[in-house]
Amino acid sequence: MIRIPPFRFPQLASVLLLSLSALVIGGCKPDAGTAPAPPASEKPPAEAADRDEHSYAEPDKVVTEDLALDLALDFDARTIAGTATYTLQWKDPAATELVLDTRALTIDKVEGEAGGQWQSLQYALADADATLGSKLTIQAPDRNARIRVTYTTSPDASGLQWLTPEMTEGKKLPFMFSQSQQIHARSWVPLQDTPAIRYTYSAHVTSRPDVMVLMSADNDPAAQRDGDYTFKMPQKIPSYLMAIAAGDLVFKPISERSGIWAEPATIDRAVAEFADTEKMIATTEQLYGPYRWERYDLLILPPSFPYGGMENPRLSFITPTVIVGDKSLVSLVAHELAHSWSGNLVTFASAKHGWLNEGFTSYVENRIVESVYGKETSDMEFVIARNALKESIVSMPEPVQALAVKPGTVLDADDALSAVAYDKGAWFLQFLEQRFGREPFDAFLRGYFDHFAFQSITTEQFLAYAKEHLFDKYPGTVTDAEIQEWVYGPGIPASAPQVMSRNFGIVDSARLAWLGSAQLPPRQITDAWSTQEWLHFLDSLPATLTHEQMAQLDGAYHFTGTGNGEIAMRWYPLAVRSGYSEANAALAEFTARVGRRKLIMPIYDALVQTESGLALAKEIFAKARPGYHPITTGSVEKVIAEAKPAPAAEPAAPAVDEAAPATH
């Protein structure tokens, strides 16, 4: 779903929604509790310029105010079954239909409450659209205040992953978790699956008694495993923040309001790695106002989690691949925490405005990193992300190079969540900070989060607020042409502020010296390098190296078999391109074990370029597939299916790299 720069979610060349056709189970034919209603249309209407075209919901007619779930988890059947009850606000006096989004759900019955009694309602489930799923249209002639849907999920629900004990860290109990963003909540709950609608929710969940169940709600750190759990989320959230997980999970605190949920085999390492979480919360509060979600806990998922993290409120889902023992990758936690202000508190109204979530969050993330770990660390992460953006943006279609597409432009949901949304968005906010000054800009952001708290907004609403509270307040500081270029224009504006990294200057000198002389830099230099410096070193190497160069680097720095996924995702593709087969065994083990798309898709992309590599990719995928998330499976299937390999050839000896990516 998300293609993210270093230290966040996956950065991928492919778009999730383009591969959903390989993931989605065909929907049911129209079925009804009584007589069938007329068939629902397959595509949402597009008459409104600001309509969320990735949802069938009609929020101008009726909205969900509260959702009550009563669910049963079945690990053997790999399904969730139960009821979803909606408390509704009918906005259009003429509206008599409730339209919900579903994907591969079996609808058993639909009822409306009238006079304290539940009565059957007519409904129709349309044929499945490969991207959007099936439109569920419920006839409610009495405009019922509450409607209840009884349903069962598919074993292959795109938003759920079911793991056998062997696929977990502890290998004792099964595991299940959800991933609702961008439009996967509809695969495990029928709902109005658009961020334009926010609602409170409660849930009663039953499961086998030996697993702990958690949700993006009020998880009790002292909760006991008994197979019967209740949850409440009193703050209104959009559907993509619905989350559930169940497994062999234990809790350890970091502070009074923050802690870690993880498998017993992982918990202690996770607590040590993320010990600075409370410092991060306090730092963000000082900058942008109080944390409004009561608790902030982390759930460490198995390695098959397809993303780096997911900002589910109160309970961020985190990949274990950032637990490397030195806190060098914990900016991912800073990113997910920052979403508690930008995204969860102030939410984009549709994917077209994705930068309002991710650009703001990436900016806030770097401010947290700067405060907790120092400006040089923050600068290094800025440089890495922006170098990746500059490299990737040139191959993007112009419409998706803009932060926000103009009204009326049709866009797939995840096209708006590329590195542009994250890093160009953060770059734009740094541009504003530089122009207006940090203190005035911090005050503006704090006011922005307060003003739009618990609302879903558009880019145009942000710009109107910024005009009143920032641009007009300091006239002449920026021009309208500059703002338009940043928000709606392609590429990186010439006004983009540049970031320098002193440490990267040393890395560049060492790399160029080695390429020219084959003399590795002194150990006293490289022994002090952080993960970020090693990433910059690898990112700046030529596309291929000789076998001798690869062996020299590997012998000195032991990249093959590294436990650091960020290094692995750079080293293994380089090894493939360079014909360094000594890395193949470790490459295969890593790619089969880890399901995080950001880390493994560059490896698959490199493998499928040759016939021998494609054969190895297929071999790895066959072994790994049972443990991959459906989202990861779809991405890998697409890369393999579209592969056009060339016959294997010895890589040419590279020239000295005299055109390395700039560090400024």
Catalytic positions are 336, 422
* Residue 240 to residue 395: CA distance in whole angstroms: 29
Return left, alpha or beta for 415; rule: phi > 0 is left, psi -120 to 50 is alpha, else beta.
alpha
> What residues does 178 pair with on adjacent strands?
160
3-state secondary structure of 273: helix
Residue position matching structure tokens 């998706």? 400
User: Are the C-beta atoms of 237 and 202 separated by less than 8 Å?
Assistant: no
**Among 585, 399, 373, 425, which Cα is nearest to 490's?**
399
Rounded CA-CA distance 504/556 in Å is 20
Contact 645, 30 (CB under 8 A): no
Q: Which residues pair with 258 in a beta bridge?
A: 255, 296
| Cα gap 504→662, rounded to integer Å | 10
CB 29 within 8 A of CB 125: yes
What span, in angstroms and rounded, lies between the C-alpha atoms of 293 and 28? 38
CA distance 133 to 123: 16
CA 90 to chain centre: 32
Q: Is the distance from CB of 58 to CB of 100 less than 8 angstroms?
A: no
Cis peptide preceding 484, ω within 30 of 0: no
Cα separation, 625 vs 69, in Å, equals: 31
Give 478's DSSP letter: S
Please tell me the chain's helix, strand, coil percentages from 3-state DSSP, rounded to the nearest 5: 40, 20, 40
Question: Are the C-beta atoms of 152 and 108 separated by less than 8 Å?
Answer: yes
3-state secondary structure of 622: helix
Backbone angles phi, psi at 273, to 5 degrees: -65, -40
